[in-house]
Structures are given as structure tokens and as C-alpha cells.
Amino acid sequence: MKLTRIELHWVRLPLVAPFQTSFGTEYDREALLVKAVTPDAVGWGECVAMPQPDYSAEYVDGAADALVRFLIPAVGALPTVTAATVGHALTTVKGHPMAKAALEIAILDAQLRQAHMSLAEYLGAVRPAVPAGVSVGIMSSIAELLDAVDGYLAAGYQRIKLKIQPGWDVAPVRAVREHVGDGVAVQVDANGAYTVTDAAHLAKLDPFDLLMIEQPLAEDDLRGHAALARRLRTPICLDESVTSPVRAVEAIESGAAAIINIKPGRVGGYLQARRIHDVCAAHGVPVWVGGMVETGIGRAANVALAALPNFTLVGDVSASDRFFARDITPPVVMRDGWIEVPTGPGIGVEPDEAALKEASVRSEGIDL
């Protein structure tokens, strides 16, 4: 395949409600879309970096700069390109996994459209639909939280994830567990807001039968997570800490993680995400697909990934309307708590011209 042009599209979509986590409150989603053009097909990818380096070191304009100055020229220099060789061509550029992931999936989407194959089939999907889970932000009161949880359960979500931080943890979790009863799957995510000295406090979450506590400590603190795991009954899941297959094995073997959240952007792409899925399977560690408030482009691709065999836990795989009144693609929808795996070529969706135009902030094209 010959790449002839790459386009970057900056978009901004208003959120249906503010989304607060331990690192901040978001009112809209500013995202970066990558379009790969070949003589026979075009493909789309989404860079999941946020406007500021709050979740990880990457941020939208930094990712765009890395793409324009280093990543796009590196793949543009290849005489011919397939998705399976993109990762290797980009190894000389350190870091920037979200930027790399977006470029790789745009190229893979174009390649699969040309081959009339779905991303799900390419990756090795084994189920036609995946269960939908939802991430619930930090609220200003417990009453407001219980209302939000009720709404998501009524909509059909099969698992609730509560965002926590110091000052918003034991009381809201207790309130939700008492409100929903024993039968509902609940887990929490701290986005690294605690330190290992909070172990005794976090152990107070143990009575509430949580599926897991996600990323309680800092990204680089595997040793701390392993120490914390020895103090908690609630299993620890790592998100931000797991940046590669090697890191996944370290997390598992050190006792830092019993479960792993896989986000293709955080680990440098869907192919690397599959490798982490595979090493976790080999270690008997279950995984689930995380979410980064993706538009329909990234969301559809995540649904395909979630259909692989070792994605046995419910992911942050929600319908488009969890976040957006109007998505830039035909919306990802949930029916009876399930989301169908796209079967069309590539990621199975493309931007709606009018919706993309409405959300557009600016665009840039690079001819190769």
C-alpha cells in the first residue's frame, strides 16, 4: 500500500454533562482525528490524548507536533506500508504512544477497507457483541451520584465504575452499594490519586464487594501497588502504569496487578494492545478495554478489540450518548446492555461529513 496523504482534524464535541475525575473536570472532548489516504481507500484513526497532560504525559498539540514532525515523515518514507510494519518504522521515535496509535489505526483502517475485512476479524474477535460498562464521574453530592447511577442502570449498563479521589471514596461507594444492592457489578478508579500511606484508608473499601480498584497509586509506582495489594482484599487493576507488554508482565509478576485495563492509545496501538491481551492470557490475568471518551471513530475500534477472547471483564465500552448528544459518526448504540461489534470493512464507521464539519476546530493536510 502506498500512503499519499495524511490529514489531521482537530475537533471539539460538547459533553452531555461535565465529567470529573481525580485529575480534573472536562466539559467537552477536544480530540484529534487522523485520516490516511491511499490510492484505493481512506482510513480514520483517533488520537486519545487530552488537551492537557492530565491523564498521561501526552496532550493533543504535542501529539500533533510529533505526528507532523516525526511520525508521519517516518511512515511517509517507507516505499510501501502495511499496519503491521508501522510500529517498527516508528521505534526510533521514543514515547508518544497515543500519536503512534492514531497513525497506525488510520493506516490499518485504510488497509482493511481495501481488503474488505473488518477490524474485528483482523484482530481475532470471537463474539458478535460486547457488554457495555460505564464510568461515572465524581459528583458534587451523593444524591446526584445515586441519580446518575440509577440512570445508567435503567439504560442497561452491565457494570458501574465510580471515579474516586481522597475525600470522595468510602462514603459514595458505601452509598452506591447500599442503593443498588449486592447484584450489581461495581468497581472504582482513582487515576493515581492516592499514595501507599493511604493503604489502611483504601482497605475500608473492602466490605463493598468491588470487582477491583483501578490505578490507586502513581503511574510509575509498581512496587507501591504490589505493597498495597498485600493490604487489600479488593483486587488491583492497573491502567496508566501498563504501557507495554513488558510492563504488563512486570506488573503481573511483581503482584502489582491482578487485572489489567488495556487502552490502545496508552500502549501505542491496537496491535500492541493485542500483544498485551495475549501475555495477560498466558498469565491467566483477565483484561478489559478502557475508555478515553472517544468519538465514534475510536469507540467503534475499541468495541472490535473488546471482542477478543481474554477480554472477559466488562470494559468502559459505552454508547456514544453516554458522552455526546451528537457524535461525529453514526452513534455507537447499546441494546439491552450490549454493543454490537462492527462488521463492515475496517473500523466499520466513518465520520458523517456534516457532523465532522460542525465539530471541526481546524485541519491540516500533509502530502507524501
Options 22, 191, 234, 320; binder of ligand NPQ; rule CB under 6 A: 191
Query: Does the footprint of ligand NPQ cover residue 266 (CB under 6 A)?
Result: no
Single out the residue of 243, 200, 198 nearest to residue 222, CA to CA: 243
Is 263 one of the annotated active-site residues of the chain? Answer: yes
- Gap between the Cα atoms of 3 and 35, Å rounded: 11
- Gap between the Cα atoms of 159 and 156, Å rounded: 9
Is 357 one of the annotated active-site residues of the chain? Answer: no
**Stretch in the footprint of ligand NPQ (CB under 6 A) among 19-27, 37-45, 123-131, 281-289:** 19-27
Q: How many residues bind ligand NPQ (CB under 6 A)?
A: 15
- Gap between the Cα atoms of 297 and 232, Å rounded: 38
Strands (E), 164-258: 186-189, 213-214, 236-238
Which of residues 26 and 46 has its CB atom nearest to ligand NPQ in the complex? Answer: 26
Options 9, 29, 247, 299; binder of ligand NPQ; rule CB under 6 A: 29
Task: Compute the chain's Rg from CA coordinates.
Answer: 20
Instruction: Give the three-state DSSP class for 143.
Output: helix
Q: Which of residues 130-169 bind ligand NPQ (CB under 6 A)?
A: 135
The tally of CA atoms less than 13 A away on the side-chain side of residue 345 is 12
Q: Phi, psi at residue 295, to the nearest 5°?
A: -70, 180
CB of 341 to Mg ion, least distance (A): 23
Query: Does the footprint of ligand NPQ cover residue 292 (CB under 6 A)?
Result: yes
Options 109, 239, 327, 350; binder of Mg ion; rule CB under 5 A: 239
- Gap between the Cα atoms of 234 and 204, Å rounded: 10
Options 239, 245, 289, 298; binder of ligand NPQ; rule CB under 6 A: 239
Query: Does the footprint of Mg ion cover residue 350 (CB under 5 A)?
Result: no
CB of 82 to ligand NPQ, least distance (A): 30
Q: Phi, psi at residue 211, to the nearest 5°?
A: -65, -35
**Could you list the residues that contact ligand NPQ (CB under 6 A)?**
19, 21, 26, 29, 50, 55, 135, 189, 191, 239, 290-293, 316
What residues are labeled active site?
163, 263
